[in-house]
Amino acid sequence: MDAIVFYGFSALTLLAALVMVTQRSPTYSAFAFIVVLCSLSVVYGMLGSPFIAVLQIVVYAGAIMVLFLFVIMLLNVREEARSARDGWVLKGVAIALVAAFALQMASVLMRARTQFPRDFEATAARVAEVLFSLRFLYVFEATSILILAALVGAVVLAKKDL
Amino acid sequence: MTEAAVQHALLLSALLFAVGALGVFIRRNLITIFMCVELMLNAVNLAFIAFSRSLGMPDGLDGQVLVFFVMTVAAAEAAVGLAIVIALHRHKDTLDVDAFSLLKW
C-alpha cells in the first residue's frame, strides 16, 4: 500500500512538472506547479517527514503560489507568443543538454550508499529540537534578518516612486 | 516500502531538477521561468529528504532542518523576485524575456 502511494505520487509529480514546463500559458503552469507541490508533499510524508510535508503545503502551495497567482492575475499575463526563435532545433538542443545533465546527476546520485532504517519519523517536535539547538542558532537568527531584508527590498522595488 | 525507495526518490529529484532546468531554457515568460527555478529548489529539497531518510534518526534530522531553511530562502526569493517582475512589467509592458536586453552585449 505504502509503495503504491509513493510511486503513484512520484509519477504524478513528474507528469505535472512536464505539463508545467510544456504549457504556454503561465496560469496553467502555475496550477500544474501546485499539483507538483501537493504530490511532492505526499512523497515527503511517505519518506517519514510529516513536518516538512505540512510545511510544503502551507508555505509553498499556500503562501508562495498564491503570491505567484496574484501577480499573474494582477499583470494580466497573456500566453507566450510564437516567434521565429521558437524552432524545434533550439528546443532539441535544450532537451539534449538537459537529458545529458539528468543522466550525469542520476548516475552520481545512484552511486550514493543509502540505507533504509526502520521507524524513521521526523515529527515537528524532533525537528524543532535540532532547529532550536545551539548548532543552528546563528543560522536561524540570520534567516530573520534575511526575511526582513526581503520585506524591505520587495516594498522598495515594487513601489512606484520612492 | 522497500530499500530501494530512497534511491528512487533521488532519481525523481534528479529528473525534477532536469525538468526545471528545461523549463528555464525553453520558456520565455518571466513568471514561468521563475516558477521553474522554484521547481529546481523543490527537487533539491526532495534530495535532502531522501538522504535524511537514509541517514536515520539522530543524524538525518539535520536534513530536515536544511529543508526548512531552503523553504525560508525560497519564500524570501519569491517576494523579491515578484517585486522585480512587477517593476519590469511597469517599464516594458511585457514579460517576454527577449524584451529585456538592455544589459546584453
pLDDT in tens, A75-105: 877 777 776 666 788 889 999 999 999 999 9
How many Cβ pairs closer than 8 A exist between chain A and B? 242
Decide: helix, strand or coil at residue B100.
coil
Q: Which residues contact A122 (CB under 8 A, 6 or more apart)?
A: A48, A49, A50, A51, A52, B52, B60, B61, B64
Smallest CA–CA distance, residue A157 to chain B, in Å, is 6
Q: Which residue has the cell 512520484?
A: A10
Query: What ranges do the domains of chain A cover?
Result: 2-158
- The three state secondary structure string of chain A is CHHHHHHHHHHHHHHHHHHHHHCCCHHHHHHHHHHHHHHHHHHHHHCCCHHHHHHHHHHHHHHHHHHHHHHHHHHCCCCCCCCHHHCHHHHHHHHHHHHHHHHHHHHHHHCCCCCCCCCCCCCHHHHHHHHCCHHHHHHHHHHHHHHHHHHHHHHHHHCCCC
The CA dihedral of A121, A123, A128, A129, to the nearest 10 degrees, is -50
Contact residues, B window 66-105, toward A, CB-based 8 Å cutoff:
67-69, 71-80, 82-87, 89-90, 95-96, 98
Q: Between residues 123 and 152 of chain A, which touch chain B (CB distance below 8 Å)? A: 126-127, 129-131, 136, 139, 143, 146-147, 149-151
pLDDT exceeds 80 at position A23: yes
> Does domain A2-158 sit in CATH 1.20.120.1200?
yes
> Among candidates B6, B4, B17, B91, which has minimal Cα distance to B51?
B6
What pLDDT is attached to residue B91? 86
Tell me what pLDDT residue B46 has. 96
Indicate if the pLDDT at residue A115 is higher than 80: yes
Q: Say what the pLDDT of residue A160 is.
A: 74
Instruction: Measure B10 CA to nearest chain A CA, in Å.
Output: 6
Read off the pLDDT of residues B27-41 as tens digits, 9 standing for 90 and up. 989 999 999 999 999
